Each structure stands twice: as structure tokens, then as C-alpha cells.
Structure 1
């Protein structure tokens, strides 16, 4: 739709609708097949966590969902259409991407970096919302206090939060975030995942690559565990985070325990001297003198 000669805006997805889908997705990097037949959907109103060890294909899957990597086989749909059918400006109205790291060649002020997220909306009816969108994104990520500082003068964690603010300012209904907590302290890790939950509650589809299984269990509606380029399991973390599977995928003995107050599953590495108390399925048979502390 066009209003007064300007580009229109995409309709908001219906709650629970699959806004991004991978169907039979295979991706090759050089001679290596990194993704080997992945089927996955990102739904409006949900946080989907992609978890698994290094090299499992998490970042590659995120890049394929964002249309930054081509599929060797299969397809990716965004907003009901193959991603290749969208022109770049139209795609930018529908999905925003946070890479693992953000580099700037020039010392742009923080406020200008965040404002870059509004570029896709130029020429649309929502261009008038730029000031409010930038201010809200900077407040949410707690970067407004250094809006005038050059991006190049920030710490790694501060840069990560500014990059997230840029993504939030874009206000696309699909957020694709690659390890957004990697450079952050404990407070800001929690802040980022709360923002993910808030965006999902507002109707966005959020896909986030995480290494911290505790964060995934606490904040994600669904978790897809990747293993050697395939999805080993996909479902609510409380149902799919089992010690046996996580031990196999990570090649490290893991036990899964319920949080004593919330019941959220906690994945804990088994260290030397502790292995006798862990059953073959990776759950704890005896811990701190109490039997039966196993995850649901």
C-alpha cells in the first residue's frame, strides 16, 4: 500500500503465525555442508533460542533466515514469501539482524549509530516516528547516557548494547540476534533477554542464538538444539533440555536440575569427582544429600 506517494508498511503478523520458516534448508560453505536439511519456524509472539556447541550451525541458520546466506537446497520464507522474492528495502521492513560483532570505520556518535536502524522506514508513513523510536531503543538498552560519545570509544559491552538499540529502533516484526549476550555482564545479559520477551509479548518473532542454556531455559518459549548441522530437538526448554541429549551434543557430561524456586531447568556441567552421582540419562540421582532432584 502507498500513502501520499510513500511506501506502505507491512501488516503485523497474527499471533502464533510462522513469520519466518526454513524448509529442507541446506547450506554449504565451501565444500562443507553446514546445515543438512533443517526445518524450523519462528512464530510471532515467541522467543526461539538456537542453542548448541560451536560449529553446530546456529549462526549459519540465523544468517540463512536473514537472507544473508543463500540456500544450497530448500528455502526460507519470510512473511509468507520466499526471501528471494523480497526487494532489499521491503525485506528490511520485515526483519532486523544483530550480528555477533559490529564494527564502524568512522567514529559515529552513538545516537547516529542507533538512528541508522530507521533507514528502512524512509519514505514510509512511519518515518515520522524516527525520533521516538530511537529514543525508546536507547532507553531500553541503557545507552542514552552516552549518546554523544563516538562508537569507537565504547567498551565491547557498550558497543553490543548500542548495536542492539539499532536493531530495536528498526522495529521490524522479526528480530534475529546472534549471541547478543556474549560481551555483557550479568545485569545486561538479563536486560537483553527481558527485551526479547517484551518484543515477543508485543507480537514480534524473536530468534536468538545463545550459549547460556540457563538464559535459554528462563526466557525462551522454544529452544532448537542444533547438532552437526541438524536440529536434534525443538520444543519448550523444560521438555527438551535433558542431560543425556545435552551431554551428547556438547561432548561434556551435563546434568539437568530444576531451579529450587522456579522449577526452570538448570544445565550444569559434571566435573571430576561428581560423575558417580549422575545417572546415564544425565540427571542427578543424588545431590547435596537429597535423592530425586531430577528435571521434568
Structure 2
């Protein structure tokens, strides 16, 4: 009997400690995903039969105009929205097959808004990212992971400050540190650069690429097409709830497609010195 108990404990530890996926492995997949939102009089389809894959070792950017479905797709991938039709799979299993704790050990989510109801310090907020690893072997590394996340997000100097007293950009960086501290194989980041200055926008995307280089799968919702072109391995362009294009930036960022999707003239060109791809609105 004691042997069976020992085996059961060992299996629980393995289940609690998912390993980093192999490069190129699909960590999240949507198939035929549709989402309806209820309005005052009728339902409106905001995602329509979306097939989408999130791949280990890649940064994939979701771009598109307002209302295209970017944040809705991210929320559905995170398990925060129930599909009207279709399925979402995490590590090869449907989302409803996972417990919330199991999902929290496999994917971390950065929402657009960053509110905390109590005056926790910044360090305490970041420490919340370690909650899924309580009473596991990884919990032994909490302080190390928290310190590393504070440093990576450039908020170490804010560790003792009350979170509600921070500026919008500071709160956004502390929230990112919480996601980094969670230490999962898949990161879902919804507009992580929206409240940030230029330097911190660049540092956030460098963090995303470094996590992907270490084997993680990263999905990031962006409005800045130039940043997406510079840092994303793949870009999915959403248009009216559908994926209009999905591929490397140099393949999908074309003048014709972007001008149509954004309903505004867009120019795509190479930087004359560095050769980097530039995406610019045409201003008259």
C-alpha cells in the first residue's frame, strides 16, 4: 500500500511540473473557433471559424484594426471565453479537460487592464504569479523567480511601493513581471506596450523574444505594426473576426493587404541603412 501511495505522489509531482515543450510544438490550438457576444437585441459574431496555432519557440503577434477580434481571440485561447462553436486545445487537450490550476501552470495571461483591489506592494503582486507552484518543487525557487522578474521588467526599484499608487506604465510593467514570475511555457500578452514609453516598449518585446528563444510560446496583441515587423516571428492579421493572413511579417505585411484591412493607405518599405521592414501610414 505504501508503494502505491509513493507512486501516486510521484505521478502527481510529474503532473504538476510540465516541462518546456519541444521547439516547434503546438502549445495552443483553436479549430473552427467562433465567439458570439450578446447585445441588447441579438448576438453579434466577433470571431468566425478561426483556425490558429501557437508554437513553442515563436513570438506570434495578433494585429488588426479596433474590433477585429484580437483580444477576443486571446481571451478564448486563455480559457476566459467559452466558444460558441469550435474548440481550443492546450498542450493537446481541450481546455475544459484542464483544471484552472493545471492551466495556470501551463499558460500565463497578461490582460489589458491592471487593477488590484487592495494596497499590495509591487513585489506582492509579482509574487501572485508564483501561486500555481505552491507546494511543488518549483515553489522552492519563488524568491529567485520573483527577483528575476522584477529585474527583467525594470521594476525592482518599485518593489516596496503600493501598487495602486503607481503610474499606468509602472503598473503595466509590474503586471508583466507577475506573468514572467509565473514561469509557464506559453505567454498570452494583451497589448503589453499600450501604456509604455518608447524604451520600455522595446524592452518588453525583447523580453518576449528572449522567452521564445528559451523555448516558450508567446502570443502578443499589438497595434504598432512596426514593432510587430521588428520582433514577431509570425503575424496573424485579423479582419472582422477572421484571420486575413498568417505568416512571417515580410510575407503578410503588404501594402495592398494592410491598406484594405485598416481602410487607410499604408506603405511598407525597407530601411535604407539597416534593411529593417518599416510599416508607415501614408500622411497627406
Is the contact between residue 45 and residue 205 of structure 1 (CA under 8 Å) also seen in structure 2? yes
Deviation at 1:4, TM superposition (A): 9.6
Deviation at 1:123, TM superposition (A): 1.9
User: What is the DSSP-based 3-state SS (H/G/I as helix, E as strand, rest coil) of the residue aligned with 1:97?
Assistant: strand
**In 1: Cα distance, 2:202 partner to 2:185 partner:** 22
Q: Evaluate the alpha carbon distance shift between residue 3 and residue 128 of structure 1 in structure 2; reply closer, same or farther with a 3 A threshold.
A: farther
Provide TM-score, normalisation by structure 1: 0.90
**In 2: Cα distance, 1:224 partner to 1:262 partner:** 25
The one of 4, 13, 17 equivalent to 2:25 is 17
Counterpart in 1 of 2:119? 107
Counterpart in 1 of 2:49? 37
**In 1: Cα distance, 2:90 partner to 2:274 partner:** 35
Counterpart in 1 of 2:93? 81
* Residue 254 of structure 2 is aligned to residue 242 of structure 1: yes
The one of 204, 208, 213 equivalent to 2:220 is 208
Is the contact between residue 173 and residue 203 of structure 1 (CA under 8 Å) also seen in structure 2? yes
The one of 138, 150, 157 equivalent to 1:145 is 157
**In 1: Cα distance, 2:238 partner to 2:11 partner:** 47
Counterpart in 2 of 1:195? 207
The one of 98, 107, 110 equivalent to 1:95 is 107
**In 2: Cα distance, 1:177 partner to 1:119 partner:** 19
The worse-fitting range, judged by mean Cα deviation, of 259-268 and 142-151 is: 259-268
Counterpart in 2 of 1:228? 240
Is the contact between residue 27 and residue 71 of structure 1 (CA under 8 Å) also seen in structure 2? yes
**In 2: Cα distance, 1:122 partner to 1:86 partner:** 18
Q: Evaluate the alpha carbon distance shift between residue 269 and residue 126 of structure 1 in structure 2; reply closer, same or farther with a 3 A threshold.
A: same
Q: What is the total number of aligned residue pairs between the two structures?
A: 272
Counterpart in 1 of 2:35? 27
The one of 152, 176, 185 equivalent to 1:173 is 185
Question: Structure 2: where are the runs of 5+ without partners?
Answer: 1-7
> Of the two structures, which has the highest relative contact order with CA contacts closer than 8 Å and spacing of 6 or more?
2
Deviation at 1:2, TM superposition (A): 4.0
Is the contact between residue 2 and residue 8 of structure 1 (CA under 8 Å) also seen in structure 2? no
* Residue 59 of structure 2 is aligned to residue 51 of structure 1: no
CA RMSD of aligned residues (A): 1.2
User: What is the DSSP-based 3-state SS (H/G/I as helix, E as strand, rest coil) of the residue aligned with 1:116?
Assistant: helix
